[in-house]
Structure 1
Amino acid sequence: MRPFEPGTGSAGPRRTSDGDIASRAADLEARYGDATPQEILRIALDEFDADDIAAVTSFGAESTVWLHMLSEIEPSTPVLFIDTGKHFPATHRYRETLTQMLGLKDVRLIKPDPEDLKREDPVGMLFSQDADRCCHLRKTLPLAGALQPFSAWMNGRKRHQSATRARMPAFEVDGPRLKVNPLASWGPQDIRAYFERFDLPRHPLVAEGYPSIGCMPCTSRIKPGEDERAGRWRGRDKTECGIHLAP
């Protein structure tokens, strides 16, 4: 386990125009958008050099599924975890368990800039006043810095999770990078079957009524029949932290 150090790694992603990125994403989606998650992961890893693509994960409720797939294909892939300073202790323990169990060789902890927090969130309560700004400082900005060396990144979002993700492709444009969503087409039954097939451990908070797990102050249990992300930023007009919103 090693923290992200700004300025390390390559000089940055290969520079291509927005049109090049859009064309590449559209071509990959047309050819492989309906492929299995494992095939999508292999295609993405074949498209880019080993140090040019990263996995980004929250080590949340269903992260084990695609991280297990990734570990069987290329366990040396850089795995970025945004350590916001507000995660549940159970999430950190789960991250440590999965890292060891899956043999992930390059898990990096990405942290917010201490000066940003000192200036804008000195007592750590910004989430209660401006959740968007809190996410920006603790998630969006740190991830943007950590992704600088890469031309593409992968994540575990799925279409069934919320209305805002319902039309998500497997390959899409994210600013100057390609973003890959290998589990886009999978529903709850697919996830459940994969957990059972490989006897994978669940995040301990799932059994306590948290099907979607983010930072502790902004995550609550859901009620029967609610969208699985209903417990995120409950009572606020907010559905995403910001890292998956188009630049």
Structure 2
Amino acid sequence: MERPDLPVPEISRARAAERATSLAAHLDRRFGRLDAVDILREAIRNLFRGRIALVSSFGADSAVLLHLVAQVDRATPVVLVDTGQLFDETLAYRDELTARLGLTDLRAAQPDAERLARFDPEKFLWQSNPELCCRLRKVEPLAQSLGDFPAWISGRKRFQAATREELPAFEADGARIKVNPLAAWSAEDVAAYRAEHDLPAHPLVKHGFLSIGCMPCTTRVKPGEDARAGRWRGLAKVECGIHTRNAMESEGSGI
């Protein structure tokens, strides 16, 4: 029975999310144990042909997933969330990998200039309200850029953080399907693949940056620390919001 107190758009989003949850569980049971490249082939060539994008940070481990996707289809849209506060090294790395792998559809998700002028005119929102900063610079732009894509590809892995330990290969993210082909990979798997294919490392990795986001909120990782310990150091924050379940649903994005 429908709840009469919910506006129609909310009911529609709830139903879409329920369908996505059911579909993701089905896809994970059917394809979740395949090798990463086979998961990508299914997702890119069959399940969501012409309707799926890779969202890449062009960070420390990004070369591996970008290389795998390029083996399947170099024309797969690749979206970088360009917050306006990325390291120059990240932008240079983006250009290097795009050229080397022959990627033909690179897109940038950028924050709305008017909203930044309103909420972050001095570019210090990361310090006073990091959650809002991430929403303005990451969550909202990505929601806009993904548009009508019913699915997208993420490079997250279970070993990266406690919040990712149960990560499936296919999951629901609001009304969309998120594909995590590297979910089961270890840090050793990533390093071995990168070495096997002679993929360049992000230039900041050699300086101790093992998880690389925006410049103000990324620090070096000390020996023995979790790879993501350098993100939002000193704050009770471990995710930017893009990968928080249904975080962008309130934006009407369908994510």
- TM-score normalised over the length of structure 1: 0.92
Q: Does 1:56 align with 2:55?
A: yes
In the TM superposition, structure 1's runs of 4+ consecutive aligned residues that sit over 3 Å from their partners are none
Please give the alpha-carbon distance, in whole angstroms, between the structure 2 residues aligned to 1:234 and 1:115: 29
CA-atom RMSD in angstroms? 1.1
Alpha-carbon contact 2:17-2:173 (below 8 Å) kept: no
Corresponding residue of 2:140: 141
Percent identity for Structure 1 against Structure 2: 52
Please give the alpha-carbon distance, in whole angstroms, between the structure 1 residues aligned to 2:20 and 2:160: 26
Letter in 2 for 1:146: S
Please give the alpha-carbon distance, in whole angstroms, between the structure 2 residues aligned to 1:210 and 1:126: 22
Query: 1:151-176 CA deviation, whole Å, 9 max, x = no partner?
Result: 00001000000000010000000011
Instruction: Provide the secondary structure at the position in 1 that maps to 2:219.
Output: coil
* 1:1-247 mapped onto 2 (5 Å cutoff): 17-45=16-44, 46-50=46-50, 52-247=51-246
Letter in 2 for 1:217: P
- TM-score normalised over the length of structure 2: 0.89
- Unmatched 5+ stretches in structure 2: 1-14, 247-255
Please give the alpha-carbon distance, in whole angstroms, between the structure 2 residues aligned to 1:92 and 1:207: 17
| Offset of residue 178 of structure 1 | 0.3
Alpha-carbon contact 2:39-2:181 (below 8 Å) kept: yes
Query: 1:131-169 CA deviation, whole Å, 9 max, x = no partner?
Result: 111000000000011111200000100000000001000
Letter in 2 for 1:199: D
Please give the alpha-carbon distance, in whole angstroms, between the structure 2 residues aligned to 1:146 and 1:109: 8
Range with greater deviation from structure 2 (21-30 or 207-216): 21-30
| Offset of residue 20 of structure 1 | 2.3
Please give the alpha-carbon distance, in whole angstroms, between the structure 1 residues aligned to 2:18 and 2:228: 33
Please give the alpha-carbon distance, in whole angstroms, between the structure 1 residues aligned to 2:29 and 2:78: 27
Please give the alpha-carbon distance, in whole angstroms, between the structure 1 residues aligned to 2:23 and 2:237: 31
Letter in 1 for 2:99: Q
Please give the alpha-carbon distance, in whole angstroms, between the structure 2 residues aligned to 1:147 and 1:199: 31
Number of residue equivalences:
232
Please give the alpha-carbon distance, in whole angstroms, between the structure 1 residues aligned to 2:103 and 2:42: 19
| Offset of residue 59 of structure 1 | 0.2
Instruction: Provide the secondary structure at the position in 1 that maps to 2:142.
Output: helix
